[in-house]
Structure 1
């Protein structure tokens, strides 16, 4: 008994000593300065946005006007309509209808904004190499880097022109060009814009041939786009198989509704049938999510 207590006491003392050393290391100003130097230049995570700020960011990414002001004016009306729809759904279809009315509108809004965002960003990335090529020609004509980029933005077309209009406005307000492009890159969260901002920052700090830098960036973006298209073509069969497997249970459900309309209502009226249908719905959701993650990892 005594050796075990001694071992326990030694373990506690060693644990206290380890915590003390960790505390001293973290409080050491020299260590703090070293950690701060190592953290310089590292990408910082985007701050978490909640509420209307997150909604504003999502609408801006999708190329839509900010909804915050209108939501503040009409928030009570929208909430009233939403609660009224949930009440009517509960009276007509039970708690499942209430749950559907509660979850479907935000989910549909999220899916719509995500679809708009990906379509918008894909078109912007396709328009970025011509914009950089225009800037290269302006540089070779004798313009400065900032003038060449701003002139290329003015000569571009939507949606890239509207998105990079933030760069022109920020530069007119006194923000440096690399920081203005970095702001757009963090808004749309694309590596192509981050590379563009990094190239401008390196050129501003260390100098060099700006036209050669932009030409290399054009080549890199086009190679990335070509590689993405090749990968999409190579994984087309996998994605199509996942789509068929995800839609097949829904097609079977539609088939039952047309061939035997009374089958599912009778099954839903029974307690065990409700459990089976809810289990099938949960398995369908889990299966679709799993297939989506598998396709995204290819």
Structure 2
């Protein structure tokens, strides 16, 4: 099946355009973070109707709507919320169409048009989902590093005599994104009449970080039974720092195993590409041989099993 040259040129242009856009987004990440922080600060420090409008605008950027709630009806919206992506439907639709076109060109050797289209859409969907999961993991990692400092700010504010909502507002002012924006939304929800425990539960669902449940549970129990919340959160901050230090130590000790798994996984494909580049006829005699299909399938299964075993060896739950 032949592909029109204009379609190839258009796909190359679209792929290059998206690559430049993604590169610009990652390179200018600090600038965009400062810009979002300035918007958040102006929303917190504003007055009058403009104050409310800017707060609602911050919430809409997180895909929460004007009600400042965090109920997520579907798995895709939960993933979008936890990834911190600002939803822009036209750009997202264009990126999905370009990905479908790129996969279609790569799969143009298939003799069935419907199969090529279906596989292209599936590949584009998996690519988008993988990108969102990567952004979600990166955002949760940043929030995890900020959580002990968040608890320290709340503890100092409580010991200074401030009520808990004011302490949460202080976190939104002092901490950069993602913690600053998330706690600004929590403060907004409490300001507009939502119970503080419900607002923290919404925060837990938006962020998706397991250890954040300790903070939510501590505040909920303190509201029901009383007690010195400052001392509880101080001990919690110390415990989270110890857990984070242990995770870093385990990650450093298991780095050799992760690198070995990556190298062993990529080595067959790199060698295949190098051999084809140096000697294109090297595999010419075995193409179409039934034994090759069995050998390739066996190698793929062994590669998957080996990666699974090495993944279990270098990832720990504690």
Same fold (TM over 0.5): yes
Give the Cα–Cα distance (whole angstroms) in 1 for the partners of residues 283 and 85 of structure 2. Answer: 41
Are 1:259 and 2:278 counterparts? yes
Q: Distance in 1 between matches of 2:92 and 2:162?
A: 49
Is the CA contact (8 Å cut-off) linking 2:100 and 2:123 kept in structure 1? no
* 1:146–1:74 CA distance, 2 compared to 1 (3 A): closer
How far off its partner does 1:286 sit?
4.3
Say if 2:83 is the partner of 1:62.
yes
Distance 2:287 2:112 in 1: 13
CA–CA distance in 1 between the matches of 2:242 and 2:100?
51
For 1:221 and 1:291, the matched residues in 2 are separated by 27
How many pairs align?
245
The match for 1:190 is 209
Separation (CA, whole Å) in 1 of partners of 2:314 and 2:72: 28
What is the CA distance between 1:95 and its match in structure 2? 6.0
Q: Which runs of 5+ in 1 are unaligned?
A: 1-46
The answer as to 2:267 corresponding to 1:248 is: yes
Q: What residue in structure 2 maps to residue 92 of structure 1?
A: 109
Does structure 2 conserve the Cα–Cα contact (< 8 Å) formed by 1:242 and 1:295? no
**Cα distance in 1 between the residues matched to 2:284 and 2:110:** 12
- Asked if structure 1 preserves the Cα contact closer than 8 Å seen for 2:171 and 2:183, the reply is no
Comparing both structures, which one devotes a greater share of its residues to helix? 1
Q: Which range moved further: 274-283 or 77-86?
A: 77-86
TM-score by length of 2: 0.65
Which string of whole-angstrom CA distances, capped at 9 and with x for unpartnered residues, describes residues 115-158 of structure 1? 21111111111112222222222222221122212222232111
Aligned to 2:53: none
Structure 2 residue aligned with 1:171: 190
1:162 aligns to what?
Answer: 181
Equivalent pair of 2:96/2:124 in contact (CA under 8 Å): no
SS at match of 1:224: helix
- Structure 1 distance, partners of 2:243, 2:255, is 18
CA distance 1:78–1:153, change in 2 (3 Å)? closer
Point out which structure has higher relative CO (alpha carbons under 8 A, 6+ apart): 2
Report the Cα offset of residue 243 of structure 1.
2.1
Q: CA RMSD in A?
A: 3.3
**1:289 & 1:108 partners in 2: Cα distance?**
21
Q: Contact conserved, 1:63 with 1:117, CA < 8 A, in 2? A: yes
Consecutive unaligned residues in structure 2, runs of 5 or more: 1-70
CA pair 74-187 structure 1, distance change in 2 beyond 3 A = closer
